[in-house]
Amino acid sequence: SQTIHQWPATLVQPVGSPLSLECTVEGTSNPNLYWYRQAAGRGLQLLFYSVGIGQISSEVPQNLSASRPQDRQFILSSKKLLLSDSGFYLCAWSVLRQGRLANYGYTFGSGTRLTVV
Amino acid sequence: EDQVTQSPEALRLQEGESSSLNCSYTVSGLRGLFWYRQDPGKGPEFLFTLYSAGEEKEKERLKATLTKKESFLHITAPKPEDSATYLCAVLRDSNYQLIWGAGTKLIIKP
């Protein structure tokens, strides 16, 4: 069965410090991978998505970057955190079946609550 | 511009009081509409996918319906454990990305 692991669950970091959040997927190959941010009481904002190793598309210009060093590993990074980077970060994956998004859409990790102080 | 709007933003119901959540969309080439449930501090969990107008899906106390402009998530005789934020998303034909609504926070009081 497919599973997605995302860590850490919570993180408190000072302004100006670096960030690294990791997400790994098991039980599937060549998934599409996504990083989302969710502000309190708000919808999901797509930050990055990847359709393959080393292929990253950025949706929102910001202080963050993403990398995909392995097929099922997706990393969200920052060199210097800002207060505005605080939020709930979600990793997700999806697969295509015969050129069509699988009917369960995206599968999400459990999220990381980041607080920048 | 592709857009998904959910209403109301929040809904408070008494246990057993049935109601509906709305998801209206404007998107070219709809390829699917998805409903998710999100509990506080957790990632969204998949509920339903609807592909064409007139389609309906049911799961326990929830039923999702789809028209050409909107989808409804009907909740019948809700229980406190149905309290969550319900998210709607649509898939457009140009890529495989979902466009998300802001969600409806549902609170069921015992």
pLDDT digits (tens, 9 = 90+) for A104-115: 789 999 999 999
| Contact with chain B for residue A98, Cβ under 8 A | no
Q: Residue B105: closest CA among chain A residues belongs to which residue?
A: A41
Low-confidence ranges of chain A (pLDDT < 70): 61, 98-99
Closest CA–CA distance from residue B87 to any residue of chain A (Å) = 8
| Contact with chain B for residue A104, Cβ under 8 A | yes
Give ∠ CA B105-B3-A102 in degrees, rounded to 5: 80
Partner residue opposite A43 with nearest CB, options B46, B96, B101:
B101
Task: Tell me the pLDDT band of B93, cut-offs 50, 70 and 90.
Answer: low
Q: Residue B37: closest CA among chain A residues belongs to which residue?
A: A108
Residues of B with CB under 8 A from a CB of A: 31-32, 34, 36, 41-46, 49, 87, 89, 91, 96-98, 100-103, 105
Contact A105 B42 (CB under 8 A): no
The arithmetic mean of pLDDT across residues B16-29, rounded, is 94
What CA–CA distance (Å, rounded) separates A57 from A51?
9
Sequence-distant (≥ 6) Cβ neighbours of residue A108 within 8 angstroms:
A4, A90, A91, A92, B43, B44, B45
Helix (H, G, I), strand (E, B) or coil at A65: strand
A73-85: pLDDT as tens digits: 999 999 999 999 9
What CA–CA distance (Å, rounded) separates A86 from A116?
5
Residue A96 pLDDT:
76
Residue A61 pLDDT:
66
The arithmetic mean of pLDDT across residues B55-73, rounded, is 96
Residue B95 pLDDT:
62
Partner residue opposite B100 with nearest CB, options A43, A100, A111:
A43
